[in-house]
């Protein structure tokens, strides 16, 4: 198992997203713990992903499963459990490695690095997404470029989408 992990997975596992279901929290916890046991986490070598993780979590002392995961991840630097790719930033939060230049402006700027990392890696690892409903609009174009999005909390993401965009139908999930 190899994945690029969106920050919201750590936050949900920490209980920092109060609107998600208990099932969503449990799934994010399970996935992060499984990743620690037998997975490979893919990040960028410019500290963009780790920096965002650190900015939004608590390391000293770690308070939740997402914090513990980050502390573990930082200790794995240079091991076979972490793979790094280089991103070439062409403008702030814009990357030469982003899989679809037409989609990039539609993406939230802080989320672009996750798609760019997945696309830059030779194995095109799946992006783990917890409850950020905007990814429901983005996954089809990413799939066309060989990037899969795994919605760990599909029901929650769909529910949030309906609330955030009430005039739009909820997009189909990958399947």
The model's pTM is 0.94
List the CATH number of the domain containing 148.
3.40.50
**Residue 112 reports pLDDT greater than 80:** yes
Number of domains in the chain: 1
Taking Cα atoms as reference points, which of 156, 160, 151 lies closest to residue 128?
Answer: 151
Sign, CA dihedral 147-150-154-156, equals negative
Residue 77 located in a structural domain: yes
Residue 52 located in a structural domain: yes
> Residue with structure tokens 């713990």?
33
Eight-class DSSP state of 79:
S
**Residue 129 reports pLDDT greater than 90:** yes
Residue 171 located in a structural domain: no
Residues 103, 145 contacting (CB under 8 angstroms) = no
**Residue 91 reports pLDDT greater than 90:** yes
- Mean pLDDT for 76-81 is 87
Residue 20 located in a structural domain: yes
In the chain, % of residues over pLDDT 70: 99
Residue 170 located in a structural domain: no
Residue 22 located in a structural domain: yes
What's the pLDDT at 108? Answer: 93
What are φ and ψ of residue 134, in 5° steps?
A: -65, -25
C-alpha separations of 86 from 114, 121, 138 in Å: 12, 9, 23
**Residue 81 reports pLDDT greater than 80:** yes
Residue 97 located in a structural domain: yes
Q: Each residue of 144-161: pLDDT tens digit?
A: 999 999 999 999 999 999
Band of pLDDT at residue 78, cut at 50, 70 and 90: confident
Domain boundaries, position 77: 2-164
């Amino acid at each position: 198992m190899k994945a690029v992990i969106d920050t919201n997975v750590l936050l949900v596992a920490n209980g920092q997203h109060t609107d998600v279901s208990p099932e969503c929290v449990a799934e994010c916890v399970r996935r992060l713990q499984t990743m620690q046991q037998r997975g490979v986490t893919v990040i960028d070598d410019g500290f963009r992903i780790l920096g965002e993780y650190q900015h939004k979590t608590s390391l000293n002392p770690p308070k939740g499963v997402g914090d513990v995961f980050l502390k573990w991840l930082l200790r794995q630097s240079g091991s076979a459990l972490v793979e790094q790719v280089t991103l070439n930033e062409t403008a702030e939060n814009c990357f030469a490695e982003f899989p679809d230049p037409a989609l990039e402006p539609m993406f939230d700027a802080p989320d672009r690095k996750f798609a760019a990392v997945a696309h830059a890696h030779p194995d095109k690892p799946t992006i783990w997404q917890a409850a950020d409903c905007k990814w429901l609009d983005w996954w089809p174009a990413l799939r066309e470029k060989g990037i899969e999005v795994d919605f760990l909390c599909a029901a929650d993401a769909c529910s949030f989408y309906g609330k955030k965009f009430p005039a739009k139908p909820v997009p189909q999930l990958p399947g």
